[in-house]
Structure 1
Amino acid sequence: MGSQGYRRGTKGPRKDFQRPRALKRKREEEDLEALAQRVANFDPKSAPPPENFVDLPLCQATQDGLAASHFKILTTIQSRTIPLALQGADILGAAKTGSGKTLAFLVPVLENLYRKRWTEYDGLGALILSPTRELAIQIFEVLRKVGRNHTFSAGLVIGGKSLQEERERLGRMNILVATPGRMLQHMDQTAELDIGNLQMLILDEADRIMDMGFKQTIDALLEHLPRDRQTLMFSATQTKKVSDLARLNLKDPEFVSVHEAADSATPTSLQQNYVVTPLADKLDTLWSFIRANVKKKILVFLSSGKQVRFVYEAFRHLQPGIPLLHLHGRQKQTARVEITTKYSNSKYVCLFSTDVAARGLDFPAVDWVVQVDCPEDADTYIHRVGRTARFEHDGRAVLFLDPSEEDGMLNALAKKKVSLEKINVRQKKMQQTIRNQLQNMCFKDPELKYLGQKAFISYVRSVHVQKDKETFNLKKLDLEAFAASLGLPGAPRVKFVKGEDAKAKKNAPRQLLAALESSSEESDAEGEARSKQKRNGGVRTKYDRMFERRNQDVLAEHYTKLIEDDQDDNGSDNDGERIKAENKAAPSDEVDDFLSVKRRFVAGDSDLDQDSDSDSSSAKGNSDSRASLELKTIKLSTNPDAPALKIDSHRREKLLASKKKLLKYRGRGAHLTFDSDSDTPKDKKAYRDESEFTAAEEERRAFLEREAERAREADAVDKEIAKGKRREKKEKRKERERQQQQQQRMESTRDGDVEGDGVQLVPYEGDLDVDAEDDGPLRLHSSAEPEPKPKRQRKWFQDSPSTSDNDDEYHNREKKKTKRPKKNKRGTTAQQHQQPQTLEDLEALATGLLATAG
């Protein structure tokens, strides 16, 4: 019976492996549709607001992340803003410090991107901006905890880290937590960053980001971002400026202020006090406060990083009995993260910080917030004290105020619904002043003294730049006493403090002519005042400002020497003094005459009011008046066509102080030309006129002759120089050869081998001729070197001579010429392959062989 079914070799029905995946996708789509329907049906303005996170229309991944992070109960700001943000509304949220604003925008970010099925291929979906690095790190840590079950990729972009490493990862990020400066840098330089599909923009501490410090950066960032986005802004002190809202392109924003109707802008569990202490006593008060609270967690705010460094280093040397830390913006990012982590994990510690730690940072269990320097405004005060008494915990804050700062600061805080209670320092618990100890440390440690000087300057600068002059009045502060409290021998000079006095002196009216009489000075001052009024009433051009310049004729010494004044016959180079002296000799007019010639005098004449005692001088007055009139003129220009200035009254005398009116008396300037041959300028007369030139061919011939003559002269000079160089070179070569010969002669004399006139020793070669023996003594005294006789060639079987005095030297020469023959197996010396040529050679060979055999 054949079995029914499938044929052998064929497979059964193929299983649908894609079906579970399709079912999962379908189930996810259904969940997303149901979640979107729940969000749409949720009423954000329902009468009983939700109290728990489970009451909100959130996905299961977000619910699990919140539960794992122990977030269950909603705060007021969260219950009112999260439903609105889930529906895509723009929000301006304001709430007290420590009220949970971070989750109020992180939960909508995760939910909105989840409902839109955002992946890494869609680009950047949400951008969260923070004013400080520490706050950005804190937001990123909370995002990691809450979104642990989501598949989004999140990144942290802050300064102080490697830019290249951030570039490599930014292209795959869905959520970014960043500071404005570094984010703008990536938008300009990172090509992989895709922000065209940005869905949400979140500004934490929005009032700080939107102020003047980040204005240009935020404006540049907004130009890169798309306009159809959702914007969320959160802060403890929210901005309502129309200009800020217009810059962000908000669409019907919802302003949610949780504690707007509250009696105080700060948490109710925060106890706030202030102490009135002079500026010079603030460090002593701070030292006593720290010594009295060594079992507390303290956060101390100062106005500048230089002050933070100085106070930290000084107190670290004094050892108050509590761990000390310091935080400011000049530190490296790794050090800042390490300090914030150490401060958060410590139980008893004191942290000196600038306003870097004033906003958003959640330090657990801070007992005291001490503000040594007065904050710049009430908002800064609210953010500073917000580091304690967070989320229904208790906390205390104290503010040190100078007597000049008390009224202005209290009025500003009262407008923000902040009330402070005044307390006094108990003198019994006041520790001994540390001023002497600081002076001793600054004297011994120059670096600490330098830090103190920088701290003083930075504090004065911070007070000077404040806009609220009612609260911050630099003139009411005792800067000398403050410098002494820092341990400095004196107050350092600050340029901008004395700049106001210097500016007033610079703008004060100056006397035009110091040599004038008191009456003329008064009239000049009045005239200057009147002219000033006229100028203020009319339009002043640049020419007016140019001619109103003062002291343009006061030159340095090297410029004064360039001015050549014409001297008169008596050696006087001042025309005014010469005319004045001649005018004194002129007679005065007669008083009794009914008609008289108008008196003419020189400017600044001290004898104007003196009458002549001599009656005879009146007779000479008319005759000498013409001569005096001719002498009372000043020639201001060497140009003969320029008119002369006649000074015959005080009004004419005032022309000397006006450059604009003296221009017509100076005439036209001379036309000077600079050439490449000399540095001194030449006038027009120094150059030949065109009429003086002859024909072009003659000028060319004359020019060639002059150039040829100049070339011959230069050639002769060059030849003389070359001849001298050759002569010098030849003399140097001869001198060098002479020295070499002398040195060789000295060496040969020392070795016993004298070249030239000395004795030359040769090895003994057998019987010498009688003539050679007779010539031996002659060789010792001969000045001329005789021809050396040919040496007798040594045979191949002869050994080197041993009787010679020069035996060692002979052996050395022979070793250099030839190598020693190798020995054979029998121990005999292998003779060179040289055939005997004579009978004597054969006999010698036979004798050697017999001796070897024997």
Structure 2
Amino acid sequence: MVLSVYETLQKLLHRFHWIVPGYIMGGENRLKEKARLRKGISILVATPGRLLDHLKHTSSFVHKNLRSIIFDEADRILELGFGREIEEIIDILGSKQNMSESKENAVSGATGVVRQNLLLSATLNEKVNHLANISLDNPVMIGLDDKKMQSSNKQVTSLDSNEVKTSERSVEVLIASNGEYKLPAQLNQRYVKVPCGSRLVVLLSILKNLFTGEASQKIVVFFSTCDAVDFHHALLSRFPGLSNLQSETGTRELFVGCNILKLHGNMKHEDRVKTFNAFKTEKSALLLSTDVSARGLDFPKVRCIIQYDSPGEATEYVHRVGRTARLGERGDSLLFLQPIEADYLRELKKHGVLLTEYPLLKLLDGFPLYGQKYHVKKFVSIEMHPWVLCLQKSLESFILTEAMMKKLAQNAFCSWVRAYSAHRGDLKSIFMVKKLHLGHVAKSFALKEQPSLVGRSVQKKHTAKRKGEQQRHREGGGLKKKRKT
């Protein structure tokens, strides 16, 4: 997000050479950042942790002429646990106190720097309200509620008039203040109801269909965990498909033929930047990502968003689908749900989000198997469809013969179950681990082993490690005793 904002600033300011943009963020070389701050920056884009670090330890970071502070995606910043850092930043900058002093100086005729704070948040909650209280003075609220918009517009107009010289206001931007989300009309929202054990086969089939039908397009698939992203990225990058299906040249091709990228928080900073730039410039690519891509990243011309793992709260659903159908362009979104999760559609409906069902059986019937095609009436069950059975068997054989893939699948299975059990609030009654058949969950990662065996293999590693540490500890104690004697 920092790099995206910085690149946009560079484009906007390329004719205004006296306005110098800059950025500081975790993972970058701190000494290089210090040198940039020493030279002087007009507009600074920063992450909370790195900004606080420089405020505390970089003496050449002069901020006495600060005019504006903008807290973008405030709700997300607080969700990620940066609340304490934000409070410390506000204390160091003395933003609220300086605003009051500036106001008093302006009224008395004294010269001083006028300070303006802006808090942008898609949702309001207790933490965001607390941040507003400590950072904003006499805030003006701007939202999508028609009644509030009328009064807010009058107040905002005064910010562009001469009153700015004698009074100081802080602006808080709210989206969807009435509880409903207004999504673009050109966004086609659909859901697909898939049994747990057939999820992987259906995902691969949908991706193959999308890239076969329209080769030049960009698609983002969202997962709940970093391990799941790593597993599916490795699988799609190596899986050749059904052993009987070969190209005309006799060589095996990848099942999904496109540039496959991944993005999540556990990747190195350099790798994240490389992926971001690659997906941004590619005309045709598949990005597998966690919610790190759900906000603040501007990927142009994304054709489709697939939410393979449920986003949880409705707000996260809206942020994810917001990566497509931008600037008036058409876009599609597809939400994967298990039959036991169907009540999630009612949760989305409360916020005005309506989805239509995806014709899955029609898609599966369109895949030829040994030159044969199917009839919809004969195969009603998805998990018993010949294409699903054959592709699932091929996936399991591939995972079984690849030791690295099997390990990635096991890690992804364990992390997925943990993430599934972490849903909060009312969603706990929809996404319940007790309702899951863990054998089918393992199947969705192409594992033939029972979940107990998967868990036991992981447990064995921890047990062996613990025994090794105990053995080393005993040996160390024995040596000490011998030295004493």
Question: Cα deviation per residue 1:263-318 (whole Å; 9 max; x = unaligned)?
Answer: 75211110101111122211111100011011232111111111011001111112
User: What residue number does 2:365 align with?
Assistant: 428
Task: Give how far 1:354 is off.
Answer: 0.8
User: What residue number does 1:313 align with?
Assistant: 234
State the distance in 1 between where 2:180 and 2:317 align.
17
State the distance in 2 between where 1:403 and 1:202 align.
43
Equivalent residue letter for 2:428:
K
Could you tell me whether the CA contact under 8 Å between 1:312 and 1:326 is conserved in 2?
Answer: yes
State the distance in 2 between where 1:264 and 1:158 align.
31
Equivalent residue letter for 2:350:
K
User: What residue number does 1:277 align with?
Assistant: 194
User: What residue number does 1:509 align with?
Assistant: none
Could you tell me whether the CA contact under 8 Å between 1:265 and 1:382 is conserved in 2?
Answer: no
Could you tell me whether the CA contact under 8 Å between 1:299 and 1:370 is conserved in 2?
Answer: yes
Could you tell me whether the CA contact under 8 Å between 2:179 and 2:351 is conserved in 1?
Answer: no
Alpha carbons of structure 1 residues 193 and 434: separation in structure 2 relative to 1, 3 Å? farther
- Percent identity reads 33
Q: Secondary structure at the match of 1:350?
A: strand
Could you tell me whether the CA contact under 8 Å between 1:236 and 1:383 is conserved in 2?
Answer: no
Could you tell me whether the CA contact under 8 Å between 1:206 and 1:239 is conserved in 2?
Answer: no
User: What residue number does 1:481 align with?
Assistant: 440
User: What residue number does 1:291 align with?
Assistant: 208
Could you tell me whether the CA contact under 8 Å between 1:279 and 1:482 is conserved in 2?
Answer: yes
Equivalent residue letter for 2:403:
P
State the distance in 1 between where 2:431 and 2:68 align.
41
State the distance in 2 between where 1:193 and 1:161 align.
17
Could you tell me whether the CA contact under 8 Å between 2:186 and 2:328 is conserved in 1?
Answer: yes
Question: Cα deviation per residue 1:528-565 (whole Å; 9 max; x = unaligned)?
Answer: xxxxxxxxxxxxxxxxxxxxxxxxxxxxxxxxxxxxxx
State the distance in 1 between where 2:421 and 2:181 align.
30
Q: Secondary structure at the match of 1:367?
A: strand
- 2:81 equivalent to 1:144: no
Question: Cα deviation per residue 1:87-121 (whole Å; 9 max; x = unaligned)?
Answer: xxxxxxxxxxxxxxxxxxxxxxxxxxxxxxxxxxx
State the distance in 1 between where 2:65 and 2:263 align.
38
Equivalent residue letter for 1:412:
E
User: What residue number does 1:454 align with?
Assistant: 411
User: What residue number does 2:134 align with?
Assistant: 247
Could you tell me whether the CA contact under 8 Å between 2:180 and 2:351 is conserved in 1?
Answer: no
- Please give the TM-score of this superposition, normalised by the length of structure 2: 0.70
Equivalent residue letter for 1:141:
E
Alpha carbons of structure 1 residues 452 and 345: separation in structure 2 relative to 1, 3 Å? same
User: What residue number does 2:66 align with?
Assistant: 198
Q: Secondary structure at the match of 1:222?
A: helix
Task: Give how far 1:378 is off.
Answer: 0.6
Task: Give how far 1:216 is off.
Answer: 2.4
Could you tell me whether the CA contact under 8 Å between 2:119 and 2:132 is conserved in 1?
Answer: no
State the distance in 1 between where 2:451 and 2:281 align.
40
Question: Cα deviation per residue 1:302-336 (whole Å; 9 max; x = unaligned)?
Answer: 11111011001111112112221111112222222
Alpha carbons of structure 1 residues 425 and 237: separation in structure 2 relative to 1, 3 Å? same
- 2:264 equivalent to 1:328: yes
State the distance in 2 between where 1:420 and 1:435 align.
28
Q: Secondary structure at the match of 1:152?
A: coil
User: What residue number does 2:428 align with?
Assistant: 469
Task: Give how far 1:404 is off.
Answer: 2.1
The structure 1 residue matched to 2:33, chosen from 166, 169, 173, is 166
Equivalent residue letter for 1:438:
L
Alpha carbons of structure 1 residues 253 and 315: separation in structure 2 relative to 1, 3 Å? same
State the distance in 2 between where 1:456 and 1:303 align.
11
- Map residues 19-168 of structure 1 onto 2, 5 A cutoff: 135-148=1-14, 149-168=16-35
Alpha carbons of structure 1 residues 220 and 435: separation in structure 2 relative to 1, 3 Å? farther
Give aligned pairs, total: 362
| Gaps in structure 2 of 5+ consecutive residues | 100-114, 146-174, 240-253, 368-386, 460-483
The structure 2 residue matched to 1:396, chosen from 328, 332, 335, is 332
State the distance in 1 between where 2:271 and 2:13 align.
28
The structure 1 residue matched to 2:450, chosen from 478, 481, 490, is 490
Q: Secondary structure at the match of 2:143?
A: strand
Q: Secondary structure at the match of 1:234?
A: strand
- 2:274 equivalent to 1:349: no
- Map residues 258-657 of structure 1 onto 2, 5 A cutoff: 260=176, 264-294=181-211, 295=215, 296-318=217-239, 319=254, 320-407=256-343, 409-426=344-361, 427-429=364-366, 431-432=387-388, 433-467=390-424, 468-488=427-447, 489-491=449-451
Q: Secondary structure at the match of 1:388?
A: coil
| Gaps in structure 1 of 5+ consecutive residues | 1-134, 499-678, 680-854
Question: Cα deviation per residue 1:734-762 (whole Å; 9 max; x = unaligned)?
Answer: xxxxxxxxxxxxxxxxxxxxxxxxxxxxx
Alpha carbons of structure 1 residues 165 and 442: separation in structure 2 relative to 1, 3 Å? same
Task: Give how far 1:450 is off.
Answer: 1.1
Equivalent residue letter for 1:281:
S
State the distance in 1 between where 2:47 and 2:140 align.
24
Equivalent residue letter for 1:461:
R
State the distance in 2 between where 1:375 and 1:494 align.
26
Alpha carbons of structure 1 residues 144 and 477: separation in structure 2 relative to 1, 3 Å? same
State the distance in 2 between where 1:272 and 1:290 align.
17
State the distance in 1 between where 2:431 and 2:134 align.
32
Which structure shows the bigger proportion of residues in strand conformation?
2
Q: Secondary structure at the match of 1:418?
A: coil
State the distance in 2 between where 1:209 and 1:159 align.
14
Could you tell me whether the CA contact under 8 Å between 1:264 and 1:419 is conserved in 2?
Answer: no
Could you tell me whether the CA contact under 8 Å between 1:276 and 1:424 is conserved in 2?
Answer: no
State the distance in 2 between where 1:341 and 1:173 align.
24
Task: Give how far 1:491 is off.
Answer: 1.2
Greater radius of gyration (CA): 1
- 2:89 equivalent to 1:221: yes
Question: Cα deviation per residue 1:791-828 (whole Å; 9 max; x = unaligned)?
Answer: xxxxxxxxxxxxxxxxxxxxxxxxxxxxxxxxxxxxxx
Task: Give how far 1:237 is off.
Answer: 4.0
State the distance in 1 between where 2:415 and 2:179 align.
37
Specify which structure has the bigger relative contact order, considering alpha-carbon pairs within 8 angstroms and separated by 6 or more residues: 2
User: What residue number does 1:585 align with?
Assistant: none
- 2:118 equivalent to 1:232: yes
Could you tell me whether the CA contact under 8 Å between 2:260 and 2:286 is conserved in 1?
Answer: yes
State the distance in 2 between where 1:254 and 1:150 align.
33
Task: Give how far 1:476 is off.
Answer: 0.6
State the distance in 2 between where 1:157 and 1:484 align.
43
189-198 or 270-279, which moves further after superposition? 189-198
Could you tell me whether the CA contact under 8 Å between 1:326 and 1:353 is conserved in 2?
Answer: yes
State the distance in 1 between where 2:282 and 2:202 align.
24
Could you tell me whether the CA contact under 8 Å between 1:267 and 1:389 is conserved in 2?
Answer: yes
State the distance in 2 between where 1:138 and 1:145 align.
11
Could you tell me whether the CA contact under 8 Å between 1:369 and 1:396 is conserved in 2?
Answer: yes
Task: Give how far 1:235 is off.
Answer: 4.2
Question: Cα deviation per residue 1:230-278 (whole Å; 9 max; x = unaligned)?
Answer: 1112344455853232132332323233775797521111010111112
State the distance in 2 between where 1:329 and 1:218 align.
21
State the distance in 1 between where 2:340 and 2:88 align.
40
Alpha carbons of structure 1 residues 234 and 272: separation in structure 2 relative to 1, 3 Å? same
Equivalent residue letter for 1:256:
G
Runs (4+) off by over 6 Å: none
Equivalent residue letter for 1:282:
R
State the distance in 2 between where 1:365 and 1:255 align.
29
Equivalent residue letter for 2:116:
Q
